[in-house]
Chain A
Amino acid sequence: MSEFSLWDIVYNLLLAARWTVLLSLTAFVLGGLVGLLLLMVRTAGNPWVIRLVRGYVELFQGTPLLMQLFIVFFGLPLIGLDVSPWVAATLGLTLFTSAFLTEIWRGCVESIGKGQWEASASLGMNFTQQMRYIVLPQALRIAVPPTVGFSVQVVKGTAVASIIGFVELTKAGTMITNATYEPFTVYGCVAVMYFLICYPLSLFARHLEGKFRHVAR
């Protein structure tokens, strides 16, 4: 059996951490896009669509992320779609992220007063123009801190992708542990790496919160 030095462990974990970052970014960007779309159709206000989006949000907020990944990973093959762990993980996390982001953003949009909608409507703007020029620019400023804060949850959420066999940071940790029988060292390193990714995001979110709190415009 080959010997693993601490450097070997760290080096291999770092390689795997790239996948954690990539998966987080992909899920966050795609989830953000889907979330924005859901936000638009929801705000536009057809009662049926609102109910549907609310159900979607409840579904993803009310079930463990792990179950969501299982259902995507084992469910899609049942309808004839064989998906790789990467695709399943991306899809699952995207849906998860979109549900949370759309809910966070809904709160931000609703915090924009009725007067802004009425004033822009009275100037002849249609819904898309109102959203684009009046509501979203203001809502975005409020939304940035909680959105960045949520990105931390996404990064940590990628760990469950290890269970469906996607080799990211956590899965790599498990594999290296199986080879080295040094779980404490390996998982200790894994934890430090998650922390190094997440902590700057948390700091950034807190910084933005302070920055935007007093900004009226």
Chain B
Amino acid sequence: MSLVELHAIHKSFGELEVLKGIDLSIDEGQVIALIGKSGSGKSTLLRTINGLEVIDDGVIIVDGKKISDRDADLLGLRLQVGMVFQQFNLFPHYTALENVMLSPQVVKKQSKAEAKQIAEEMLAKVGLADKMMHYPDQLSGGQQQRVAIARALAMKPKVLLCDEVTSALDPELVNEVLAVVRQLAEEGMTLVMVTHEMRFAREVCDKLVFMHQGRIHETGDPETVFANPKTPELASFVGGLA
């Protein structure tokens, strides 16, 4: 059984239907890239997986448990599913260490010592052992994003969602973040990412999901999808990038 299963997900914003019946299953340890033009629904789809967007219709099953939009369910869901955002969204009034420690302490009721130990571990993992006492505005964009990854990891999620995690970064800072994501993938973390970094997706992902106009248009392993796109939409999308 897959770790995350999405069945017939529908979502509209007012009149605009952004997700028109999405089926997707994510296996444990799988690394999936959602690609497609802006407005194709890929970010919205990602956000439904941890309940930031409430779906209008369909079923989400995480780790065998069906998720409804009841608050208690959502909180439970979010313990399983971590998220990293395009704009980092660190808490500006806390240090890097406090950013990472907060949720384990507050949500998981871990002791301060325990939370601190995990936080230090996670920050070291993303290469920021020497920046723990810095506030977000004292860190570069790439460093902030790595803190955000550490913050999500400290909750020990089963799946990590990455929403265009390098799109807000200066070009020279992109690689340090991608390196961390790549390392997570190699360690067997289940990852779902919306990305425009096609080369990275091709190298790191097990499965590529091409979205077009609110539907999954084509899916497959990266080599095949990039080498032999079956649909003209994907061909033109991939071609436009080359």
**Residues of A in contact with B (beta carbons under 8 Å apart):** 113, 115-116, 118-126, 129, 133-134, 137-138, 141, 216-217
Contact partners of A137 in chain B: CB under 8 A: 93
Q: Which of B68-93 contact A (CB under 8 A)?
A: 71, 75, 78-79, 81-83, 85, 87, 89-93
Q: Give 15 new A-B contacts, CB below 8 A, not counting A121-B78, A125-B106.
A: A119-B89, A119-B90, A122-B81, A123-B151, A124-B78, A124-B103, A124-B155, A126-B75, A129-B107, A133-B91, A133-B102, A138-B93, A216-B92, A216-B137, A217-B92
Q: How far is the CA of A116 from the CA of B85 in the complex (A)?
A: 11
Task: Say how far A9's CB is from chain B's closest CB, in angstroms.
Answer: 50
Number of B interface residues, CB 8 Å? 29
Question: Does B71 lie within 8 Å of A126, measured CB to CB?
Answer: yes
Cβ contacts under 8 Å, B87 to chain A: 115
Min distance, Cβ A120 to any Cβ of chain B, angstroms: 8
Among B82, B90, B93, which residue has its beta carbon within 8 angstroms of that of A122? Answer: B82
Whether the Cβ atoms of A122 and B83 lie closer than 8 Å is: yes
Q: Are B89's CB and A129's CB within 8 A?
A: no
Give the 7 A-B residue pairs with the shortest CB-CB distance, closest first. A119-B89, A115-B89, A123-B103, A122-B83, A124-B107, A124-B78, A217-B92
Closest Cβ of chain B: how far from A128's Cβ, in Å?
Answer: 10
* Residue from B89, B135, B148, B155 having most chain A Cβ neighbours under 10 A: B89
Set A123, A133, A134: member contacting B152, Cβ < 8 A: A123
Instruction: Determine if B8 is an interface residue (Cβ-Cβ < 8 Å).
Output: no
Whole-angstrom CA separation of A137 from B83 in the bound complex: 23
Q: Does B136 contact A (CB under 8 A)?
A: yes
- Given A123-B151, A123-B155, A137-B93, A129:B106 Cβ within 8 A: yes
Could you show 7 A-B contacts with beta carbons less than 8 Å apart? A115-B85, A118-B85, A119-B90, A121-B52, A122-B83, A122-B152, A124-B79
B50 contacts the other chain (Cβ, under 8 Å)?
yes
Contact B106 A133 (CB under 8 A): yes
Chain A at the B interface: mostly helix, strand, loop or mixed? helix
Q: B52's contact among A113, A118, A133, by CB below 8 Å, is which?
A: A118
Verify B155–A116 contact, CB threshold 8 A.
no
Interface residue from A119, A125, A141 paired with B107 (Cβ < 8 Å): A125
Contact of B93 with A217 in the complex, beta carbons under 8 Å? yes
A124 contacts which chain B residues (CB < 8 A)?
75, 78-79, 103, 107-108, 155
Which residues of A lie under 8 Å from residue B83 when comparing CB positions? Answer: 119, 122
**In the complex, are the beta carbons of B136 and A116 less than 8 A apart?**
no
Task: Decide yes or no: A122 and B78 within 8 Å by CB, A129-B107, A216-B137, A217-B136 being known contacts.
Answer: yes
Closest residue of B by beta carbon distance from A138: B93
Contact A116/B137 with A122-B52, A124-B103, A125-B107 known, Cβ cut-off 8 Å: no
Pick the residue among A118, A119, A121, A217 that contacts B135 (CB under 8 A). A217
> Which of A113, A119, A124, A134 is packed against the most chain B CB atoms within 10 Å?
A124
For residue B131, give the distance in angstroms from its CB to the closest CB of chain A: 15
Cα A129 to Cα B104 in complex, Å, equals 12
Residues of B within 8 A of A138 (CB): 91-93
A123, B89: Cα distance in complex, Å: 12
The minimal Cβ–Cβ distance linking B208 to chain A, given in whole angstroms, is: 24
Q: Compute how far the CA of A125 lies from the CA of B108 in the bound complex, rounded to whole angstroms.
A: 10
Q: How far is the CB of B236 from chain A (nearest CB, A)?
A: 33
Smallest CB gap from B72: residue in A = A126
Q: Give Cα A119 to B47, complex, Å.
A: 12
